[in-house]
Amino acid sequence: MSRKPNSASPKSPSTQPGPSLLAERSLLGIFVHVIGLLSGFVGPCFVYWVSDHEFTRANARNALNWQLFLTPAFLVATAVVAVPMGVSNWFEIPDVIEFVLFVPVAVVVVALTLLSLMAFVLPIVATVKAIFGKTWEYPIAPDFVSRVGGLT
């Protein structure tokens, strides 16, 4: 017996296989977070500057904001660790003052460790979110790009 398709059954809505957002995304918009991981703020800044695709620009903006937060944070944290260590090596400092200097240095070393972990994990999270069509803002990065007039 051969079965004929039931013409009385309701038609399912026409859908295309795969994500419907595929046309709204770009590979550069997805990988700009990894580019930022490898190049610092230079890569996302360049992508933001040359792109006219909305999804790419939004992701480049978020990656640029993250890198603009991360770069000075690393520089300041490194200075906070290096200066007291250098001062204690160059000059004879009493043990009490060395201990007082040690406490903030230890706190900054812990913060620097967490920041280093976040520097690798958060761009990967943002890349995964971008794969699924989301524009994800990094949680602790301020929006520097909107503060600079004309870049929005």
pLDDT tens-digit readout, 54-89: 999 999 999 999 999 999 999 999 988 888 877 777
Q: What is the mean pLDDT of residues 35-40?
A: 94
CA distances from 87 to 8, 73, 79, 93, 136 (A): 86, 21, 12, 8, 42
* pLDDT for the residue 26: 85
**pLDDT per residue over 87-99, tens digit each?**
777 888 788 888 8
Domain borders along the chain are 24-136
* pLDDT for the residue 20: 54
Q: What is the mean pLDDT of residues 117-129?
A: 96
Q: Phi-psi region for residue 16, left (φ > 0), alpha (ψ -120 to 50) or beta?
A: beta
In this structure, of 4-18, 75-89, 115-129, the range with the lowest mean pLDDT score is 4-18
Q: What is the mean pLDDT of residues 33-48?
A: 95
In this structure, of 27-36, 84-93, 138-147, the range with the lowest mean pLDDT score is 84-93
pTM: 0.75
Contact 35, 27 (CB under 8 A): no
Between CA 16 and CA 23 the distance in angstroms is: 12
* pLDDT for the residue 96: 85
Name, in order, each residue with C-beta under 8 angstroms of 125's C-beta and a sequence gap of 6 or more.
136
Contact 133, 117 (CB under 8 A): no
Higher-confidence residue of 36 and 100: namely 36
Match 């937060």 to its residue by tokens: 69
